[in-house]
């Protein structure tokens, strides 16, 4: 059975999925590889996995939490799992390139494959795929959109430099 709930965040509504024991998904609105809402999912906001995830997400967005400690269960290939595990080793407020990540998983030269695995990460933010950038230092692809990626990276950098403060996303007026 798949359980689902939503969490209101400064970067928009997040959809959280669980198998009843662990967090299995965390997707942003209009997430490129995110699942469509399924009416067969059981809505269980009080599920322990969701209560814990919601509390930690609130602390993260307040600038008070830099490392998540949640039971996770992400389904993917052996290579994807290796990439997702390595993502969790990127320190808060820091970035790495796709090429460096490929080297770290023992597959130098496979930066495109790492990018594809990164893009299929089912547990955004908690498994910090937003911390991976292009070799040139430019922001590249993000399932939640480059604006959100930039906001998360800027927020983490600011928290490391200036201490805890809530994430505030400023949107510019439509032109």
Active site residues: 129
Enter the tokens of residue 165: 């403060």
**Distance between CA atoms of 62 and 44, rounded to whole angstroms?**
24
Asked if 115 contacts 15 with a C-beta cutoff of 8 angstroms, the reply is no
Question: How many CB atoms lie under 10 A from the CB of residue 46?
Answer: 7
Enter the tokens of residue 60: 């993260």
Strand partners, 27: 15
Tokens 């998983």 belong to residue: 105
User: What angle is formed at CA 65 by the lines to CA 70 and CA 44, rounded to 5 degrees?
Assistant: 40
């Amino acid at each position: 059975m798949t359980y689902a709930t939503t969490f209101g965040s400064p970067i928009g509504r997040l959809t959280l999925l669980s198998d009843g024991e662990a967090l299995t998904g965390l997707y942003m609105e209009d997430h490129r590889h995110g699942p469509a809402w399924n009416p067969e999912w059981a809505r269980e906001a009080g599920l322990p996995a969701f209560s814990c995830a919601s509390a930690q997400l609130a602390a993260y967005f307040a600038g008070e939490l830099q490392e998540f400690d949640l039971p996770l269960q992400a389904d993917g290939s052996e290579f994807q799992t290796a990439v997702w595990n390595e993502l969790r080793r990127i320190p808060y407020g820091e970035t790495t390139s796709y090429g460096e990540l490929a080297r770290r998983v023992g597959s130098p030269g496979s930066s495109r494959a790492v990018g594809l695995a990164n893009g299929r990460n089912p547990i955004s933010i908690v498994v910090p795929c937003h911390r991976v950038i292009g070799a040139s230092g430019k922001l590249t692809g993000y399932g939640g959109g480059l604006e959100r990626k930039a906001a998360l990276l800027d927020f983490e950098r600011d928290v490391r430099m200036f201490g805890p403060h809530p994430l505030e996303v400023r949107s510019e007026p439509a032109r």
